[in-house]
Amino acid sequence: MTVDPHSLLRSLFDAAVASALPSVCVPPHLPEPPARGRTVVIGAGKASAAMARAVEEHFPAPVEGLVVTRYGHEVPCRSIEIVQAGHPVPDEPGLKAAERMLDLVSGLSEDDLVLCLVSGGGSSLLPLPAPGLTLADKQAVGRALLRSGATIQEMNCVRKHLSAIKGGRLAAAVAPARLVTLLISDVPGDDPGVIASGPTVPDPTTFAEARAILAKYRIDAPASVVKHLEAAEHETPKPGDPVFERTVTRLIATPQDALEAAAAVARRHGVTPVILSDRIEGEARDVGLVHAAIARQVALRGQPVEPPAVLLSGGETTVTVRGEGRGGRNAEFLLSLAADLDGHPGIWGLACDTDGIDGTEDNAGCLYAPEMAAKAAALGISARRSLEANDGYGYFRELDGLVRTGPTLTNVNDFRSILILPHDTVQA
């Protein structure tokens, strides 16, 4: 048996993405149509437009509605309006779409069904500020959180408490209509309250927690934000609130599903998969070091598995930006791994975001090969210096290691695969 490392790593990523495509995961989870009322479709996220099309193609009754997705992620629909807006920094089209969405679901009856389609990115795409706040306030806080190293749970806790639609407030607007939410998870642990800041589910977090997060990361928020959080008026709906009595929430695709799909492909190629975790968090560079250490253990000692093997992991790391370089968290992870391995033979890696966009760049992520260390030295570039500058994009661009897919129209978070092969199995 021989293996082409580059092709295998790419096929694993492709399988992970394919498992979460809306055309695959939406139809089995569609609810029964209402006997008498309307079916209104709403939603937000990088996959929401593709989810809307899947609804139109498979739902056995007329539908209407509006969903908002990231620029470049639009999919044409017949009766569901698609709005494109800004991500990760929210913008005016997203705000206007959120206002219209609330208007669309207000005043519905118990006979009506609201089908809400939610995926990663939805939080930034529904940036309707709480009373007394502006879009500029939310943009300032959002930018600071993105650069701070805060986790997605922490960022979304703050977002919920600056919002008029997140943290269960959309569900409150829908009541008394029946509400079914279909979720494609992009968060570690698959908590529906964290995915897109949980617009249709109960919110256990509080204003006090939001204040503590801003203090933890020393974020200098606008005065209006500080005043709003300190006033702590109109807390988000909590578990047990009557507004959730007629709601159903269904997880239809998760990071674990994607890792298992990749593992099945690895087995078909005679490579043993090891799923480390679907919920890895922490600084991307630190996670890269840990993966490099495990890969060395497999390569040198055959533990916990003999090569050929592939280490698979998902989750969402963070990057504390200190340099002026380019690159998302997947590029940072792989650059850290490359710097530590320094050309160690027999180890390859791929790290990509399943939505096709690593951070705000034009690549899904990057691919690492052991021969890159010698090529980098010949070009006069250093993985360690690039890491200090947070310049994973620049490093892998010079080495032809960028992975570009364009928008995949789904999002089950980061996908990492570290391939360890014996020398005699590598296809030249």
Q: What is the mean pLDDT of residues 389-415?
A: 97
Whole-angstrom distance, CA of residue 417 vs CA of residue 145: 28
- Cα–Cα distances (Å) from 274 to 138, 278, 291, 305, 354, in that order, read 40, 11, 12, 8, 19
Is 297 a member of any domain? Answer: yes
Same domain, 110 and 218: yes
**Cα–Cα nearest to 352, from 292, 401, 290:** 401
- The answer, yes or no, to whether residue 115 has pLDDT greater than 70, is yes
Tokens matching residue 100: 């219209």
Chain segment 230-285, per-residue pLDDT in tens: 999 999 999 999 999 999 999 999 999 999 999 999 999 999 999 999 999 999 99
In the three-class reduction of DSSP (H, G, I as helix; E, B as strand; rest coil), residue 412 is classed as coil
Chain segment 165-196, per-residue pLDDT in tens: 999 999 999 999 999 999 999 998 999 999 99
Tokens matching residue 112: 């009506």
Into how many domains does the chain fold?
A: 2
Whole-angstrom distance, CA of residue 122 vs CA of residue 94: 10
Whole-angstrom distance, CA of residue 267 vs CA of residue 247: 40
Is 428 a member of any domain? Answer: no
Tell me the average pLDDT of the chain: 96
Whole-angstrom distance, CA of residue 284 vs CA of residue 392: 11
**Cα–Cα nearest to 32, from 109, 113, 105, 104:** 113
Q: What confidence score (pLDDT) does residue 3 get? A: 86
Q: What confidence score (pLDDT) does residue 359 get? A: 86
Same domain, 232 and 270: no
Q: Are residues 284 and 333 in contact, defined by beta-carbon separation less than 8 angstroms? A: yes
Is 276 a member of any domain? Answer: yes
Band the pLDDT of 88: cuts 50, 70, 90: confident
Same domain, 241 and 324: no
Tokens matching residue 310: 């592939």
Tokens matching residue 49: 């437009």
Same domain, 163 and 53: yes
Same domain, 306 and 376: yes
Domain with 238, as residue range(s), is 22-253
Phi, psi of 174 (to 5 degrees): -70, -40
Tokens matching residue 350: 């791929």
Q: Which of 253, 269, 290 is the last residue of a domain?
A: 253
Is 90 a member of any domain? Answer: yes
Whole-angstrom distance, CA of residue 247 vs CA of residue 243: 8
Is 427 a member of any domain? Answer: no
- Domain holding 330: CATH number? 3.40.1480.10
Same domain, 28 and 159: yes
Q: What is the mean pLDDT of residues 297-307?
A: 97
Q: Which of 253, 278, 303 is the last residue of a domain?
A: 253
Whole-angstrom distance, CA of residue 341 vs CA of residue 322: 23
Same domain, 51 and 121: yes
- Domain holding 203: CATH number? 3.40.50.10180
Is 319 a member of any domain? Answer: yes
Burial class (CB in 10 A: 0-12, 13-18, 19+), 23: middle
Is 102 a member of any domain? Answer: yes
- The answer, yes or no, to whether residue 424 has pLDDT greater than 90, is no
Same domain, 226 and 327: no
Q: Could you give the percent of the chain with pLDDT greater than 70?
A: 99
Helices (H), 245-370: 255-268, 284-301, 329-341
Same domain, 191 and 211: yes
Q: Which of 253, 276, 303 is the last residue of a domain?
A: 253
Same domain, 355 and 249: no
Whole-angstrom distance, CA of residue 359 vs CA of residue 343: 26
Is 51 a member of any domain? Answer: yes
In eight-state DSSP terms, residue 163 is B
Same domain, 276 and 138: no
Same domain, 217 and 305: no
Band the pLDDT of 199: cuts 50, 70, 90: very high
Q: What confidence score (pLDDT) does residue 426 get? A: 62
